[in-house]
Amino acid sequence: MRVSYQWLAELVDLSSLEKSGKGPQALADLLTARGLEVEAVDRLDKGFEKVVSVQILKKEKHPQADRLSLCTVTLGSGDPLEIVCGAQNMKEGDKVCLAQVGAELPNGMKIAQGKIRGVTSNGMLCSESELGLAKESEGILILPPSTALGQPLAKILGRDDTILTLKLTANRGDCLGHYGLAREVAGALGVQPKAGQAAALDFSKPFAKSPIQIKLEAGDLAPQFLGVSMEGVKIGPSPAWVVKRLEAIGSRSINNVVDATNLLMFELGHPVHAYDADRIEGAVIGVRQGQAGEKIPLLDATEVTLKGGELTIFDGKKTIGLAGVMGGGNSEVSDGTTKIFLECAEFHASTVRKCATAHQKRTEASHRFERGIDPEGIDFAISRLTALVTELAGGKVVGIVDARLPSRALASRASRQKVLSVSKAFLNDYLGTKLSDAELKAALKQCQCEVTEAGAQWKVAVPSYRLDLSIPEDLTEEVARSIGYDKIPATIPALTSTPKPQNLSQSPLAALEKMKDMLMDAGFYEAVNLGFTSRAWLKEFGMSSSVSVLNPLSEEHEVMVPSLIPGLIKNALNNQRHHFSADPQAIRLFEIRPTFSATEKIESKSEMQTTVVEKWKVSLVMIGPRGTGALKADQAAVDFFDLKAVLEQVFETFGGKAIRLQPYKSAPGAAGAYAGLLHPGQAVEVVAGNRAAGVAGMLHPKLERALKFRNPVWIAELDWEAIQGIGKPATEPRAYKSWSEFPPMERDFAVLLDDSVTAEKMVSVALKAGKPLAKAVRVFDVYRGSQVAAGKVSLAVRVTFSEEGRSLKEEETEAASRQIVDAWKREIGAELRG
């Protein structure tokens, strides 16, 4: 909200702030310290500080330049000045604007004393465009002959005000007018605010019968409605001070009657409306809830179709406005209007908000009604409005009328005084302060809250316009605002229960954080991607999302991610894009974040549960050289077994032996969302216990090509819940196991296998056959080629034999070895190579 300093100064004595010499800034600081944050303080005369009115005494040709003139000007007093000027539209006797030496004009031009073609110029005569008053202009600005000389231009233009831009919080609707702010400032400065002049209209004794009657048909949604009928009003332009005031706060002048309603709103914060009384049919005006499909033409020349339930204003024949939002185009005041009907009413806050939001008509009026207006201030508001209209447009009041529900009856106004009960000890205990009774009362008084009863339990009368004060805690804030938040001491709260360990070890995040550390140690950088993405990008990977955003910012953010892989792939591509070297680029990224899915309609199942399922995934992408060394020998590209090494590291820590890798089935449906994502011959499915726990392998070469990757891309995505639930929690202490002090024996074999038999199978056969002495079976070389038949592979295998507590005898090892070799032959058709 834009606030005029001059306007505010009329409503509250700011002289104590002005003593400091910087009134507006001091005011801004005061407001900010009270929770009414001032975002900016702008002088309207910015750029005009050294521009004054002068009269041209003499105009001659520049002695050295035909196109320039040399003017002698006067400020009305002091020595005349010589100014060189390029324009020709002025004549002797004209009053013009002089930018004096030192001026910095709105367009950024700095004025210095200088010689132009040998003649000293003591400033510059300005055009409208140079002054920022017009986009384009020809010649310099000629001021009216009546202009006084030596006057600052800001004053001539009425731009001598300073504007404070406030960022008001939603709870302080009472400050959405200059008078409301004046009240707040007055409290802080210990002075009284000065309300605008108005002859009070007494609705309890109407002095003239209103020609228009009011109907309240919306119950509590519109509990009171006051009207004033005026005749003999003369519509016309507003006087200069009104135009200046409205423009200063970012509004604009329409005509004197509409301006009066706007002035009233910006003064008291209460939106009001003026109707052309001749256009109200049936001598009646009322408020009711509209019907769905009903159409209303509005002031802004648009038409809205109601959704039903909106508060509308109607007359005997038609609907003439959206209550609290905007008046109708069929009843507005126009040039020929002479009879008007002024409305000042109370409309239900959230109903107005719903209407303004639904029809995208967020207006100054709806903004104020949403935040709530002073229900008891309505009589003064319409009295003041009547005074303003009379002042600006003449006319006389021919009738006043009010309609109020019992909850707003005039007679019971005193009984509606809101009184909060609070113990004075509570005020201090809550804030942690030690304020005396007098200090507490003074603090509350600053906010116009009167303590009406002494003793330990206080009764605090709260002003009707402070809709935000309803519980004792609200009063603690008023005390704190008044004394200043900086007066609250700093203490450390007492511990009343034993804190959990600080190192995260008990928290739900602990294991995830350990996983992050592990992947970092494995040489991966952590990426963080947004939780949403586009359908098109998912489609590249044969994926789709079951969770959409109903109001996305753009296509980029339309659905929630079902997998972290597409995001990491995008990251990898970004990195590849800025890699310009012939050196191979290493990209190793991981991400640990939730993914989203839903198998039923997205809705809330209870207060605490939705149908959307969040699964945390641990995902990684790996591209490029195995090492980071610059020498060629270190730059071999990673392959499946590098990826497998990382996975084994993870499983070792998190899942134990219950996690297995199985061949990846690329058929649709086989690997769920990951079908078609991976190279069918160089990928695995991860199985934890009997649960699918993810996939790992080479990004399908088709995708690699389509996405223009320069190197094979290795990816993995693990289901966090599946892998972490399977082993002992990674954060729990591990049990110690002793080892044999006796040296084991090793035997090496060259085993010739069918290509279709996996190494894993060969190993498991050996371990089983070699029981109990064979403790480990390890492949240490793989050979395919001219020395073995096609379709065969030769594996070099080392078997380790040992026994707890003793050395093995040669014969025992031999016997176990024979059993292994026999089993190989019998079970998988494997031969030893000669």
Partner 1 sequence: MSNLFSQLDGIGAKALEQIEGASDLATLELVRVSVLGKKGALSEVLKGLGSASAEDRPKIGAAANDWKRKIEEALEKKKGGLEDQALETRLASERIDISLPSRGLHKGALHPITQTTRRIIQTLGRLGFDIATGPEVETEFLNFEAVNIPKDHPARDMQDTFFMGPGVVLRTHTSAIQMRAMRNQKWPVRILCPGAVYRCDSDATHSPMFHQIEGLWVDKKVSMSDLVGVLEFFAKEMFGSSTKIRLRPSFFPFVEPGAEVDVSWGKDRWLEVLGAGMVHPRLFEMAGYPAGEAQGFAFGMGIERIAMLLHGIDDLRLMYQGDVRFLKQF
Work out whether 35 is an interface residue with partner 1 (CB under 8 A). Answer: yes
Of the pair 37, 803, the CB lying nearest partner 1 is at 37
Helical spans, DSSP H, in 740-809: 759-769
Stretch that binds partner 1, among 100-108, 126-134, 448-456, 518-526 (CB under 8 A): 518-526
Under the phi-then-psi rule, with left for phi > 0, alpha for psi from -120 to 50, and beta for the rest, what region is 734? beta
Of the pair 456, 550, the CB lying nearest partner 1 is at 550
Helix (H, G, I), strand (E, B) or coil at 692: strand
Work out whether 628 is an interface residue with partner 1 (CB under 8 A). Answer: yes
Work out whether 456 is an interface residue with partner 1 (CB under 8 A). Answer: no
Work out whether 532 is an interface residue with partner 1 (CB under 8 A). Answer: yes
Work out whether 703 is an interface residue with partner 1 (CB under 8 A). Answer: no
Work out whether 488 is an interface residue with partner 1 (CB under 8 A). Answer: yes
> What's the Cα-to-Cα distance from 798 to each of 493, 751, 775, 777, 812, rounded to whole Å?
64, 10, 11, 6, 17
Work out whether 283 is an interface residue with partner 1 (CB under 8 A). Answer: no
Residues 725 and 720: their CA atoms lie apart, in Å, by 8
Work out whether 581 is an interface residue with partner 1 (CB under 8 A). Answer: no
* Tally of helices (H runs) and strands (E runs) in the chain: 21, 40
Stretch that binds partner 1, among 76-84, 489-497, 726-734, 792-800 (CB under 8 A): 489-497
Stretch that binds partner 1, among 127-135, 484-492, 677-685, 760-768 (CB under 8 A): 484-492
Among 59, 215, 516, 644, binds partner 1 (CB under 8 A): 516
Work out whether 572 is an interface residue with partner 1 (CB under 8 A). Answer: yes
Dig out the tokens for 496 from the structure.
């009343």
Work out whether 522 is an interface residue with partner 1 (CB under 8 A). Answer: yes
- Give the start-end residues of each E strand in 81-136: 81-85, 95-100, 114-116, 119-121, 123-125
Among 204, 491, 581, 786, binds partner 1 (CB under 8 A): 491
Cα first-last separation, the chain: 93
Nearest approach in angstroms of CB 431 to partner 1 is: 5
Window 590-609: residues binding partner 1 (CB under 8 A): 590-591, 593-594, 596, 601-604, 606-609
> Are 28 and 188 a contacting pair, CB within 8 Å?
no
Work out whether 307 is an interface residue with partner 1 (CB under 8 A). Answer: no
Of the pair 214, 716, the CB lying nearest partner 1 is at 716
Work out whether 37 is an interface residue with partner 1 (CB under 8 A). Answer: yes
Report the candidate in 596, 608, 591 with the shortest Cα–Cα distance to residue 549.
596
Work out whether 544 is an interface residue with partner 1 (CB under 8 A). Answer: no
Report which DSSP code applies to 259: H
Window 139-178: residues binding partner 1 (CB under 8 A): 169-172
Report the candidate in 464, 471, 462, 461 with the shortest Cα–Cα distance to residue 427.
471
Helix (H, G, I), strand (E, B) or coil at 694: strand
Dig out the tokens for 458 from the structure.
């206080």
Work out whether 612 is an interface residue with partner 1 (CB under 8 A). Answer: yes
Nearest approach in angstroms of CB 642 to partner 1 is: 10
Work out whether 560 is an interface residue with partner 1 (CB under 8 A). Answer: yes
Helix (H, G, I), strand (E, B) or coil at 181: helix
Of the pair 170, 301, the CB lying nearest partner 1 is at 170
Work out whether 630 is an interface residue with partner 1 (CB under 8 A). Answer: yes
- State the angle between helix axes of 256-268 and 378-393 in degrees (0 to 180), rounded to the nearest 10: 150
Residues 290 and 309: their CA atoms lie apart, in Å, by 5
Report the candidate in 417, 483, 350, 409 with the shortest Cα–Cα distance to residue 203.
409
Nearest approach in angstroms of CB 181 to partner 1 is: 15
Contact pattern for partner 1 over residues 400 through 439, marking x by CB under 8 A: -----------------------------xxxxx------
Q: Which residues pair with 623 in a beta bridge?
A: 587, 713
139 exposed, middle or buried (CB, 10 Å; 0-12, 13-18, 19+)? Answer: middle
525-526 and 587-597: which strand pairing? Answer: parallel
Nearest approach in angstroms of CB 775 to partner 1 is: 31
Work out whether 724 is an interface residue with partner 1 (CB under 8 A). Answer: no
Nearest approach in angstroms of CB 173 to partner 1 is: 8
Nearest approach in angstroms of CB 570 to partner 1 is: 7
Name the phi and psi angles at 689, rounded to 5: 65, -115
Work out whether 353 is an interface residue with partner 1 (CB under 8 A). Answer: yes
> Are 90 and 96 a contacting pair, CB within 8 Å?
yes
Work out whether 549 is an interface residue with partner 1 (CB under 8 A). Answer: yes
Work out whether 347 is an interface residue with partner 1 (CB under 8 A). Answer: no
Among 89, 291, 485, 818, binds partner 1 (CB under 8 A): 485
Work out whether 496 is an interface residue with partner 1 (CB under 8 A). Answer: yes
Stretch that binds partner 1, among 179-187, 240-248, 381-389, 565-573 (CB under 8 A): 565-573
Work out whether 371 is an interface residue with partner 1 (CB under 8 A). Answer: yes
Helical spans, DSSP H, in 359-408: 364-371, 378-393
Work out whether 270 is an interface residue with partner 1 (CB under 8 A). Answer: no
- Residues in the interface with partner 1 (CB under 8 A) total 111
Q: Cβ atoms within 10 A of the Cβ of 294, count?
A: 15
Work out whether 615 is an interface residue with partner 1 (CB under 8 A). Answer: no
Under the phi-then-psi rule, with left for phi > 0, alpha for psi from -120 to 50, and beta for the rest, what region is 484? left
> Are 726 and 718 a contacting pair, CB within 8 Å?
no
Among 507, 711, 731, 819, binds partner 1 (CB under 8 A): 507
Report which DSSP code applies to 745: E
Work out whether 631 is an interface residue with partner 1 (CB under 8 A). Answer: yes
Work out whether 395 is an interface residue with partner 1 (CB under 8 A). Answer: no
Work out whether 636 is an interface residue with partner 1 (CB under 8 A). Answer: no
Nearest approach in angstroms of CB 754 to partner 1 is: 37
Stretch that binds partner 1, among 404-412, 486-494, 671-679, 754-762 (CB under 8 A): 486-494
Helix H or strand E encompassing 449: none
Among 354, 660, 691, 825, binds partner 1 (CB under 8 A): 354
- State the angle between helix axes of 510-521 and 640-654 in degrees (0 to 180), rounded to the nearest 10: 150
Window 763-782: residues binding partner 1 (CB under 8 A): none
Name the phi and psi angles at 515, rounded to 5: -60, -45
Work out whether 575 is an interface residue with partner 1 (CB under 8 A). Answer: yes
Work out whether 471 is an interface residue with partner 1 (CB under 8 A). Answer: yes
Among 524, 541, 674, 801, binds partner 1 (CB under 8 A): 524
Work out whether 30 is an interface residue with partner 1 (CB under 8 A). Answer: no
Nearest approach in angstroms of CB 359 to partner 1 is: 14
Work out whether 317 is an interface residue with partner 1 (CB under 8 A). Answer: no
Report the candidate in 679, 821, 661, 660 with the shortest Cα–Cα distance to residue 753.
821
Of the pair 47, 177, the CB lying nearest partner 1 is at 177
> 3-class secondary structure for 458-527?
EEEEECCCCCCCCCHHHHHHHHHHHHCHHHCCCCCCCCCCCCCCCCCCCCCCHHHHHHHHHHHHCCCEEC
Of the pair 378, 547, the CB lying nearest partner 1 is at 547
Work out whether 493 is an interface residue with partner 1 (CB under 8 A). Answer: yes
Work out whether 645 is an interface residue with partner 1 (CB under 8 A). Answer: no
- Tokens 């004096």 locate to 100
Work out whether 289 is an interface residue with partner 1 (CB under 8 A). Answer: no
Q: Which residues pair with 270 in a beta bridge?
A: none
Helix H or strand E encompassing 541: none
Report the candidate in 59, 398, 446 with the shortest Cα–Cα distance to residue 210.
398
Work out whether 350 is an interface residue with partner 1 (CB under 8 A). Answer: yes
Q: CA angle, 497 as apex, 496 and 499 as ends, to 5°? A: 125
Q: Which residues pair with 97 in a beta bridge?
A: 53
Of the pair 79, 521, the CB lying nearest partner 1 is at 521
Nearest approach in angstroms of CB 414 to partner 1 is: 28
